[in-house]
Structure 1
Amino acid sequence: MGKENNHTGVFVAFVLLSECQWDKAKLINDCKADWGIELADNDSDNAMVCTLGDITVAAALMPGPVPNGEAEHYAAANYMWPEAVDAAKNHKAQIMVSVIGKEAGLIERGKLFTKIVASCLRQDGATAVYTDGAVFHPGFYSDVASLMKKYDDALPILDWVWFGVYRTAEHSGIYTYGMRKFGKEEMEVYADNADLNDMRDFLLNITAYVLDGNVTLNDGETLGFSAEQKLAITISDAIALDGKSIKIEYPR
């Protein structure tokens, strides 16, 4: 828990396009206008790769849709966007965006990554973002990213982490998907007859606490938002995900 794993530092997204075309010069100009990010051009028509300090940024036009119907599959889980599946089904190409750089901090990398993706969404024909097992509405993704223009310390958590819903015969709950790229384990919270919106807000607050403070939650410890509150933390096989997850007791 908290150690490097195969997912740590992997920031990759696919901006879905309605046509197989992009304007690389526009992307470079938009990154500068939107965020003050200076991206260097190169000789390739279909790819842009440049280095910003210790970070390498790459964006490339990929002809054809995301293979194996992956985008459509994950779009079906977006309970906030009923048209997500249609947007995923109809895309004809994608811009693959990646940000790598082991020396730079994970939060710094994550912020830069989200800024580049948001600028890609200003391309003509950009219809969705597929990343970390979720398909996001372009307006939603851009609105969350824009928080970084208003507040220097803002974390675009809703672009980084998907808060999924799961149900079993015994209970329903909310899980995170996207924490592992920050070197953290995914989290799950569940309860009987609890409001899922309240549960999601609860887990969102914990996610912000973990990422903002680089906090590691350990098995057997407790967590609380007051001196009296002591919510149990358990690490065990995940319910809605592969591998282990952190289970956090939901307050009554």
Structure 2
Amino acid sequence: MNKEENSTGSFIAFVLLSDTQWDINQLITDCKTDWNIELPNDSQDNTLYTKIGDMTLVISLMPIPIPNEEVEYHAATNYMWEDAVEVSKSHKAHLLVSVLGKDANVLDKGKLFTKVISSCLKQENTIAVYTDGAVFQPQFYREVASIMQQDENTLPILNWVWFGIYHTDEFAGIYTYGMRKFGKEEIEVYASNADLIEIRNFLLDVVAYILDANITLQDGETIGFSAEQKLSITLSDAIALDGKSLKIQYPQ
């Protein structure tokens, strides 16, 4: 599957709307209630702009659908949401949400990004989130984000990284999409006669380790979750993505 590359430190999402309205005051209230985030109430032309520390948050209402069936294409890959394509087709407008700041900590940007989107999704006319080549169901996105309400240090990885499925005649596997915005290589894990859910859980543990500890895996190294486990790491042309990816040996 060919997907455009996302830039390091760039957090951008499209919150799909069933009509061309949004309630900025409700968002300001929800961000304060949900996350204790103070947003200004001086928005102009349906755009909210504010600085939070070293980060810049921008939310703009775009009163048109995303063109060229781009959203529907990516919605079709969401194996966790049966109605993703049908729901995505119905959107009439979208909120463009971005968190920028080249000097800001990338995890802090990611957390602010997810918190604000989660609060956006409390608006009655939100129907999906499109980000990093994936389309998420609002309830799923908010449930993942809520882990930060229980523990601020817990990373909402399933909102940051998409774990896609890829099949060939010889093998099947799971790939990541979203690691590049953290300055990391995307990862692919393939195996024959292996359970895809188990591969996904294995790769989720790897991603959590990389992001939580800010680890950069290198070609030719090994990784393991015990003293005895040594799984090989290889950097080569990606199978399911554009560019390069890290292939991690799957423990059989």
TM-score of the aligned structures, taking structure 1 as reference length: 0.97
Show the counterpart of 1:117: 117
Show the counterpart of 1:11: 11
AA at the equivalent of 1:190: Y
Show the counterpart of 1:52: 52
Show the counterpart of 1:28: 28
Show the counterpart of 2:178: 178
Aligned Cα root-mean-square deviation (Å): 1.0
Partner Cα separation in structure 2 for residue 127 and residue 239 of structure 1: 32
Show the counterpart of 2:61: 61
Deviation at residue 42 of structure 1 after TM alignment: 2.3
Q: SS of 1:228's equivalent?
A: coil
Partner Cα separation in structure 2 for residue 208 and residue 223 of structure 1: 13
Deviation at residue 110 of structure 1 after TM alignment: 0.2
Is contact 2:224-2:231 (8 Å) kept?
Answer: yes
Deviation at residue 181 of structure 1 after TM alignment: 0.5
Deviation at residue 6 of structure 1 after TM alignment: 6.3
User: What does residue range 177-216 of structure 1 map to in structure 2 within 5 Å?
Assistant: 177-216=177-216
Show the counterpart of 1:150: 150
Deviations 1:183-220 (A, max 9, x none): 00100000001000000000000000000000010000
Is contact 1:10-1:100 (8 Å) kept?
Answer: yes
Is contact 1:24-1:45 (8 Å) kept?
Answer: no
Show the counterpart of 1:75: 75
Partner Cα separation in structure 2 for residue 50 and residue 43 of structure 1: 9
Q: After the TM superposition, list the runs of 4 or more consecutive aligned residues in structure 1 that deviate by more than 2 angstroms.
A: none
AA at the equivalent of 2:65: P
AA at the equivalent of 1:98: S
AA at the equivalent of 1:224: G
User: What does residue range 119-138 of structure 1 map to in structure 2 within 5 Å?
Assistant: 119-138=119-138
Is contact 1:41-1:49 (8 Å) kept?
Answer: no
Partner Cα separation in structure 2 for residue 127 and residue 187 of structure 1: 29
Q: SS of 2:241's equivalent?
A: coil
Is contact 1:14-1:97 (8 Å) kept?
Answer: yes
Q: SS of 2:69's equivalent?
A: helix
Deviations 1:94-148 (A, max 9, x none): 0110000111100000000000100110112100000000000000000000000
Partner Cα separation in structure 2 for residue 123 and residue 57 of structure 1: 18
Is contact 2:10-2:100 (8 Å) kept?
Answer: yes
Deviation at residue 245 of structure 1 after TM alignment: 0.1
Structure 1 unmatched ranges of 5 or more: none
Is contact 2:43-2:49 (8 Å) kept?
Answer: no
Is contact 2:48-2:58 (8 Å) kept?
Answer: yes
Is contact 1:60-1:96 (8 Å) kept?
Answer: yes
Partner Cα separation in structure 2 for residue 68 and residue 51 of structure 1: 33
AA at the equivalent of 1:112: L
Is contact 1:12-1:99 (8 Å) kept?
Answer: yes
Partner Cα separation in structure 1 for residue 236 and residue 154 of structure 2: 31
Show the counterpart of 2:92: 92
AA at the equivalent of 1:245: S
